[in-house]
Each structure stands twice: as C-alpha cells, then as structure tokens.
Structure 1
Amino acid sequence: MKVLDLKCSHEHRFEGWFASTEEFESQLSRKLVACPVCAVTEVSRMPSAPRLNLSSARGEAAPETAQAETPPDAAALQARALQFMRELIEKTENVGERFAEEARRIHYNEAPARSIRGVTTPEDAHALLEEEIDVMPLPVPDALKEPLQ
C-alpha cells in the first residue's frame, strides 16, 4: 500500500492511499482522485520522505515529542475542520431551502425542536437574528455533501 501526500490546485493538502504508484497515476488520469475539501480533480503529488522507525526495530523506545508545545499544522487543522463538518452533517437534519421557515417553526414551538441545516439568503438570516433566532452561516464543502467511501 502506498500512502501519498497530495495537493489540489487550491493548495489543500491531503493523503491518498493506493495499491501502487501506477494505480495512483491511472486514477489521476481518469479524474478519480479528488480533493476532500473542494472536490477538484486537479491534484498533484507532493514530495515526501519515507518514514523509518529504526529505533523501534532495535527495541529502543522512540523519543517522546512535546505535542502540546507544537502548534497544529495546516493539515491537522484542516482534518479537524473536516471531522467537525462530518459530525455536524450527521447530527443535523437538512431542510434545504426551507431553512428560514423551519427555524421559525421550531423557535415558535410549531415544530419539534431539533438541530437543522439548510440554505437561506443573507437577508433571511439577518431577519432570523432580529427575531432572536440563533443562526450561523457555515459553508459545507461539496465533498462532504455526499457519503464518503
């Protein structure tokens, strides 16, 4: 199994797992490799160094690193954001274009209380806020709108 460091044309970095380098090239040429953040298929391979666990092979304990002191890198932040978005999608009901209407129905106890997500105009979102109905704009990447394999 080959684990490759990849980058899309929008500079999003991610990993891809392939049976071989040839399989990666084949999938790339058929536009089957897509960025998990923005779904573009213009993807390139990043240089990566092989990982060698030599200390483990000799029975020595690997030195511990101070994880708490190291600031998270962009890839770690991106991974956390994607995980948050996946959880949000799993735990909310998509009401689509009826978002403003359904938010009002829930707020005024005309519909069961539940967490919802959907689409609304900036004007409708502002009107909801004026009615003291909490809303939060949250763009969902297209790659997360469908189930992942």
Structure 2
Amino acid sequence: MIRYTLVCEHGHDFEGWFRSSGSYDDQARSGFVECPICGSTKVAKAMMSPAVAKPVSRPPVSKLPAPVGSAPEASSNASTVPAPTPPTTMPVMAEPERQLRALVRAVREHVTRTADDVGRQFPEEARRMHYGEVTSRPIYGEASPSEARALIEEGIDVAPLPSLPDDLN
C-alpha cells in the first residue's frame, strides 16, 4: 500500500491509501478520488518527505583532538563528549490514525458480517436490485473503476469498502 498526501483545487490537504501508484492514477483519472472536506475530484499529489527509518542508537562519540591554539585541558575528561541519551520511544501510530483504522476495520467487519458477498457479480446484482428484478438486500463485491462509474451514472448508489494496509499483508 502507498500513502499519498493529496490536495484538492481548494487547498484542502488529506491522505489517501492506494494499492500502487498506478491505482492512484486510475482512480484520480476516473474521478474516484475526492476531497473529504469539499467533495472536489480535482485532486493532486502534494509534496511529501520520504519516510526514512532512523537508527535506533547512535555510534559512540570518540574523543576529538583540541583545535590548534586552544587552551590546555583542565582535566583528562574535559574534552570527552557525554554519551548520547537514548532516544525516546515514539508511538508507532498516532492516536487519530489508530482511531481511524479502528473505525475503518469496524465498518468493514460490519459490512462483511451483515451483507452478502456477490464477488465479481456485484455490478450485475446491484443493477438487478435497482431495477426491481430481485429483492433488494445489502451486498458487497468487486467492481472495476469503470463498472462503478457506470453504476453511479445509472443512479445506483455504490461506495468502496475501505481496506487497511494490514489487510493486504
């Protein structure tokens, strides 16, 4: 999974998770990426700093020679640099992100527990229910971006079922 920082045409920043860079490009081109604040689908990737892992501990600092012309040492320990303090432990995930993931997981579990999985037949089954050919019921399944767009254009309400990076590992 790739996490992008995105910005809409009105300057609202938000994050989006995508299976790949190509997945983002396809969804953005199809108008499926929208600002959660204003609903704009004119969205672009914002500049991001790379997530680089920091070392757990620093190498020991050696005793450096005194610069030329400096005062002589007062004691043998005067030019020794104190040992670095151990780094403080940072939470793996900030609390708002932890809460959001818990909410996404709860929504996903509720849908999979209470709705019928119709798999790749989702577009056809959604149409059959919309046009009254079968009894309406909660369903979920798979649809390509173009199939989802076609359903929306027909007036059929659909929404993506969110997934988390852990779901794909």
Q: TM-score range by the shorter chain?
A: 0.3 to 0.5
Which one scores higher on RCO, CA 8 angstroms, separation ≥ 6? 1
* Structure holding more helix per residue: 1
Q: TM-score, normalised by structure 1?
A: 0.45
Q: TM-score, normalised by structure 2?
A: 0.40
Structure with larger Rg: 2
